[in-house]
Amino acid sequence: MVLNWKLGGVLLGLVFFLAVLLVKPIGVSTQFVILDGILWNAADPSVVVQTEDGAYTSTNAYLAKSSGKYAKSVSEPMNYSFVFVIAMMIGGFLSAMARGGVSREEQKMPAIWRANFGGSTGSRFLATFVGGFIVLYGARLAGGCTSGHMMSGMMQTALSGYIFAAGAFLAAVPTAMFLFREEG
């Protein structure tokens, strides 16, 4: 089953609207930092500490910022934002299973990738990892990701959301045209 793009767009808009109305705007890149903090704190319990007044702080400046909000999220990760990211992964899996799983055709390397970069699965995985790392690094450098800046920001008519969207497309379209010059 394939979801019609118009219905999908309306449903996505409804989810964003309900998220803002009921909880807060959607954004997920910070939760990767929180996951890093959880793993770091598991290895070194002195990274996040609770003060005598019950507040949280960290020896790491990034986790200590926002009056210890990130340090608290590391110490108590079962909050809305972290559960939302986990639910996104579970939802993606359930969606794939509901439509019959991932077919052999979908598992194959796209012809356009093969035409431009060859057929090595290892190089595709490496490029995907490096690309994802760069995107996540850029998102944290910008103080948020596309869901937070662009989608939630534009929905709230924030000028920064529109500027971010314009910058994202001004960078993404020429990059894609350069990387994928040959047809599959």
Higher pLDDT pick, 53 / 66: 53
Give the contacts of 56 (CB within 8 A, at least 6 positions apart).
48, 49, 50, 68, 71, 72, 74, 75
pLDDT of 17-65, one tens digit each? 888 888 888 888 888 889 999 999 999 999 999 999 999 999 999 899 8
pTM: 0.70
Contacts of 130 (CB under 8 A, 6+ apart): none
